[in-house]
Structure 1
Amino acid sequence: MPKRRGHTYEQPRELAALPYADHLEPFDGRLVGNGDYDTLLFDGQEFEDEDAGAARFIESAFTSVTFVGGRFRRARFTDVWLHTARWVGADLTESTWADAEIITSAAAGTAMPGAELNRVTFHRCKLDSVNFRAAELREVVFVECTLRDVDFAGATLTGVAFPGSALERVRFDKAKMADVDLRGATSLGLSDGYDALRGATISGLQLMELAPMFAHILGVTVEDD
């Protein structure tokens, strides 16, 4: 798992560097609800409209795997590694992610309301219209990612950082933040939830960019003579 070192982060691991790499067995089949998937390698497969609610994925790796639609409600992903994975329109409501590393992957139109993410790192990923409403994120890092139309409304973010990431039309309405570091974000485009930033750290330049909206929220009229 990449470690946070001040404002720098370790490079993502290769598949061979995983502690369980030598024990991985190729997976060939379909996913089922309540299934146990332990120490498996998912490689190059496409899963369409799979019903894998409450499934458990432990010490497994995913390479060039595509999930189109499908129901993964309350599924658990523990100590997993994903590289060039794609999630399109999948339902991951109340799923749990712990000690996960997600690299050069993409998610579009994916639902993750009420999800729990603990010690998860996204490297160079693209998240488009992902729903994290009421989710809980702890020690989650988005490294050089693009977050477009991502919805964190009502979510709880603790120890979350966005180094080198671009935020475009991101929603933080009624979100709760603690130890959230936005200073490394290359852009900070928010649709709403400016008041939720009270638990975040931003840079002086970002403050200047956000100042007009902060003034609007406070009811301050700014006029030049």
Structure 2
Amino acid sequence: MAVREFDDLPYARYLEDFSGPLTREGDYDTVHVRDVEFGDVDAGNGRFLESALTSVTFEAGRYRRTRFNDVWMRSVRWVGSDLGETEWLHTDVDGGALSGVRLDGALLRQVVFQGCKFDSVNFRAAKLREVTFTGCVLRAADFAEATLTDVTFDDCVLNETRLGRAELKNVDLRGARELGLTDGVASLRGATITRLQLLDLAPAMADLLGITVDKH
């Protein structure tokens, strides 16, 4: 169950306000980063542990191989940022926005995205396990060659989604209000969809199988 309020965090009382810059291999333990904008910084190979980020904007910047462990994020914006090969564990993201972000090769486990907007986010070759998307909008998300295991999309809109050569295991798409795929219909093996979604996907499936559908 995702934590919705800051005061409900088990480590809230121990958090200290973060005032310093982000640096490469930085170690950020029990800090509260809030009401700040970070520009084009190089802060890869860092580690956030039992920390909170609220009303933070990351404009560009390189954060490759950074680890987020037991982190709570609210109203955090990532724009044009490189989060490739990052690791996310036990992390809640509430009301976030990610635009033009790289998450290629990232590892996400037991992560909850609540009310987030994803625009042209690159999840290529990422591994998602026990990840929940609730009330999210995903436009032009690229999951090509990614592995999704025990992933749920509830009350979400997926538009122009790429699934080419992705591997899905126990992925629940029944809660998606819109399921638009640019490619990767064959990769839906291992997913659960509704009958209505099946009808919407039927033309793409027919093309994949080489079936000519008479429109008359």
State the 1:49 CA deviation. 1.1
**Residue number in structure 1 paired with 2:38:** 47
- Segments of 5+ residues of structure 1 without an aligned counterpart are 3-11
The structure with the largest strand share of the pair is 2
Partner-residue secondary structure (3-state), 2:211: coil
Please, what TM-score do these two structures have when normalized by structure 2? 0.98
Calculate percent identity across the aligned residue pairs.
Answer: 53
**Residue number in structure 2 paired with 1:8:** none
Deviation digits for residues 5-25 of structure 1, max 9, x if unmatched? Answer: xxxxxxx42000000000000
Equivalent position to 1:68, from 59, 65, 71: 59
Computed over aligned residues only, the root mean square deviation of the Cα atoms, in angstroms, reads: 0.9
- Segments of 5+ residues of structure 2 without an aligned counterpart are none
State the 1:224 CA deviation. 5.1
Deviation digits for residues 117-170 of structure 1, max 9, x if unmatched? Answer: 000000000000100000000001110100001100000000011100000101
**Residue number in structure 2 paired with 1:86:** 77
Please, what TM-score do these two structures have when normalized by structure 1? 0.94
**Residue number in structure 1 paired with 2:178:** 187
State the 1:199 CA deviation. 1.1
- What letter is aligned with 1:134? A
What is the CA–CA distance in structure 2 between the aligned matches of 1:223 and 1:90, rounded to whole Å?
46
What is the CA–CA distance in structure 2 between the aligned matches of 1:153 and 1:86, rounded to whole Å?
24
Deviation digits for residues 97-127 of structure 1, max 9, x if unmatched? Answer: 0000000110000011000000000000000
CA contact (8 A) 1:74 1:92 kept: yes
Deviation digits for residues 37-76 of structure 1, max 9, x if unmatched? Answer: 0000001010111211100000000000000011101000
**Residue number in structure 2 paired with 1:168:** 159
What is the CA–CA distance in structure 2 between the aligned matches of 1:29 and 1:144, rounded to whole Å?
34
- What letter is aligned with 2:40? D
What is the CA–CA distance in structure 2 between the aligned matches of 1:27 and 1:55, rounded to whole Å?
15
Structure 1 segments, 4+ long, off by >3 Å, are: none
What is the CA–CA distance in structure 1 between the aligned matches of 2:204 and 2:121, rounded to whole Å?
24
